[in-house]
Amino acid sequence: MCGVFGVYNNKSAAELTFLGLHALQHRGQESAGIAVSDGYDINLKLGQGIVTSVVKENDLRDLRGNISIGHVRYSTAGGSNPKNIQPFFAHFYGGSFAIAHNGNLVNADRLRRELEEDGAIFRSTSDTEVFVHLIARSRQPAPPHINLHKNDEDFLPHVFEVMKRVKGAYSLVILREKQLIAVRDPYGFRPLVLGKNRTGSYFVASETCALDIIDAEYLRDINPGEVLVIDDAGIRSYYPFEFPEEPKKCIFEFVYFARPDSKIFKEWVYQIRKEFGRRLAKEYPIEADCVIPVLDSGLLAAMGYSEVSGIPFEIGLIRNHYVGRSFIQPAQEIRDLSVRLKLNPVRQVIEGKRVIVVDDSLVRGTTSKKIVSMLRRAGAKEIHMLISSPPVISPCFYGIDTPTREELLAANLSVEEIRKFIGADSLNYLSLEGMLEAADSSKGFCTACFTHNYPVLDELFSVQGV
């Protein structure tokens, strides 16, 4: 869970990066950072919190330059140590660079141990720093099938070698003094798009909603396994892997993570998320008086369910948008009320009704349990819980913050046991086939958290018992 953004050729690069990160804020609220190059030096502003609290007007005045990258972080590897705030910056014998990463490496621990045994000193606990050390130490030439532009001869062979050593999910933006580089792993787990504005500036972003906010046009996706370089000689594309992998794009981006106004993996999130709801209606026709979403993530699936079933769509739970992650956990005695900080039922909609509640996923089950009991107290006659994705049975190792297998309800209980645990009258999940058909399975998706079928793991890593 992270968002990345990059700008090439704009005198307001820092300001545009600030806006781009603001649009990507849903991908991480723990820390934010911007790195800007004026063609000679790279300057950074990093801090904990959302981008508007980290980067102030005077910071933007100081971050002068035409090329920039930025990052918003939600820690998945390495914890919330301030030293893990990205972009990371490094000097090495070949110059300087800053790097920002969305994703998670599955062999980072092993590579880190090898690097440390070889004398490397790490300053963070993030897997992203592995890229920094590997880039600095790389000595391999570019693969023979690659014809390098002269501007790329010094740095890109390092990137190519690192891509061959790391395993897992990485959508990267790299800032050099005079270049912006975008990299996507060969499976294409995380999204990454390229855009351009009317004045000829180029942009790279995790999602298209970050292009919209700065009035840039979506050009195309950065392809799985692609390295894209933008500099004063133009745009160049390289594919260091001679034999491409079958794409494994994260389907959870469509279920929950990406913003519904974004286009990712060449598809509109809005359409697919609504289609999940339509499929739910076909798989589980239920007699009820209203369909209500768990806002915001269940909204579109609930609309899709209502559209197909003809059951009226209502807003039966109101979300309080002012509850941030910084909210201090309340004392134990009122902790059970914490879901009320976020959601409150609309009694007029609920009372005496048979209610279908649509949510995007059910992970630990604690929120669903609280929602069901809240709706009962508001007078619901029946509560039917529908989940617009299959049961989550395995953790994600590719950059989404899911808990361990022990904490995943569906890894340990049957659907009927989960229904009893949350207290609903019925509980149903969208089938794997339904989800894949809605998203067009021919496009190649990772479904490991629903199937335990991991596309890539470190060869020394065992998934037994995870």
Q: Is 234 exposed, middle or buried (0-12, 13-18, 19+ CB in 10 A)?
A: exposed
Which 3 state secondary structure label does DSSP give 140? coil
Tokens of 450: 């629903």
Which 3 state secondary structure label does DSSP give 345? strand
Q: Which is nearer to ligand SF4, 248 or 376 (CB)?
A: 248
CB of 319 to ligand SF4, least distance (A): 23
Main-chain phi, psi angles of 354, to 5 degrees: -90, 115
CB of 456 to ligand SF4, least distance (A): 10
Which residues sit at the interface with ligand SF4, rule CB under 6 A?
A: 189, 250-252, 396, 398, 400, 446-449
Q: Which is nearer to ligand SF4, 195 or 395 (CB)?
A: 395
CB of 458 to ligand SF4, least distance (A): 15
CA 302/CA 55 separation, integer angstroms: 37
Tokens of 449: 């958290």
Q: Which is nearer to ligand SF4, 281 or 446 (CB)?
A: 446
- Asked if residue 379 lies in contact with residue 406, where contact means CB atoms within 8 angstroms, the answer is no
CA 415/CA 309 separation, integer angstroms: 23
- Asked if residue 395 lies in contact with residue 405, where contact means CB atoms within 8 angstroms, the answer is yes
Q: Which is nearer to ligand SF4, 173 or 448 (CB)?
A: 448
CA 46/CA 272 separation, integer angstroms: 35
CB of 135 to ligand SF4, least distance (A): 24
CA 409/CA 368 separation, integer angstroms: 11
CB of 410 to ligand SF4, least distance (A): 13
> b/e map of 80-98 (b: 16 or more CB within 10 Å)?
eeeebbbbbbbeeeeebbb
Q: Which is nearer to ligand SF4, 55 or 222 (CB)?
A: 222
Angle between helix axes 269-283 and 299-309 (nearest 10 degrees) is: 50
Q: Which is nearer to ligand SF4, 1 or 209 (CB)?
A: 1
CA 191/CA 4 separation, integer angstroms: 10
Active site residues: 2
- Distances, alpha carbon 164 to alpha carbons 101, 183, 186, 223, 255, in Å: 16, 13, 10, 16, 30
Peptide bond just before 87 cis, omega within 30 deg: yes
Q: Which is nearer to ligand SF4, 5 or 189 (CB)?
A: 189
Residue ranges with strand state E in 197-295: 202-205, 217-221, 227-231, 234-238, 249-250, 263-264, 267-268, 290-293
- Distances, alpha carbon 295 to alpha carbons 97, 258, 371, in Å: 40, 15, 12
CB of 244 to ligand SF4, least distance (A): 18
CB of 87 to ligand SF4, least distance (A): 23
CB of 174 to ligand SF4, least distance (A): 22
Q: Which is nearer to ligand SF4, 160 or 265 (CB)?
A: 265
Q: Which is nearer to ligand SF4, 9 or 447 (CB)?
A: 447
CA proximity to 23, closest of 183, 160, 212: 212
Strand partners, 67: 8, 37
CA proximity to 26, closest of 48, 55, 46, 50: 50
CB of 453 to ligand SF4, least distance (A): 9
